[in-house]
Amino acid sequence: MGEPYESETDRIFELQEEVHQLKEAVASHAVVDQAIGMVVALGRVTPDQGWAVLKDVSQHTNIKLRNVAELILIWGRTGDMPPEIRAELEDALDRHGPTQVPGTPPL
């Protein structure tokens, strides 16, 4: 008769884990959306292009998209960005958008 109790406990644990994962996904989504907004504003691209730029930077640097988004948000606050991320961001904007990263000298 211990089985129903164990399965209820297991189910509660599974639901708690699912809630935790959903909370993380919502937080991650917010970070990515904010970074897309920065790329849109600073790179003068559409939101779809901003998303493509983030994906490209993530794929070409082998850094998770959420982490790329966090680095872009840090850049917005501090002006600091790792050189390899900045170079890839410039390249991705060249591929997807009409302009360059603000603050860089013209070619």
Would 104 be classed as within a structural domain? Answer: no
Global pTM exceeds 0.95:
no
Chain segment 79-101, per-residue pLDDT in tens: 999 999 999 999 999 988 765 45
- The whole-angstrom separation of Cα 103 and Cα 49 is 20
The answer to whether 35 touches 69, Cβ cutoff 8 Å, is yes
Would 105 be classed as within a structural domain? Answer: no
Domain interval for residue 19: 2-96
- The whole-angstrom separation of Cα 77 and Cα 71 is 10
Q: How many domains does the chain have?
A: 1
Chain segment 41-76, per-residue pLDDT in tens: 988 899 999 999 999 999 999 999 999 999 999 999
Would 54 be classed as within a structural domain? Answer: yes
The answer to whether 53 touches 92, Cβ cutoff 8 Å, is yes
Helix axis angle, 2-43 relative to 83-96, nearest 10°?
70
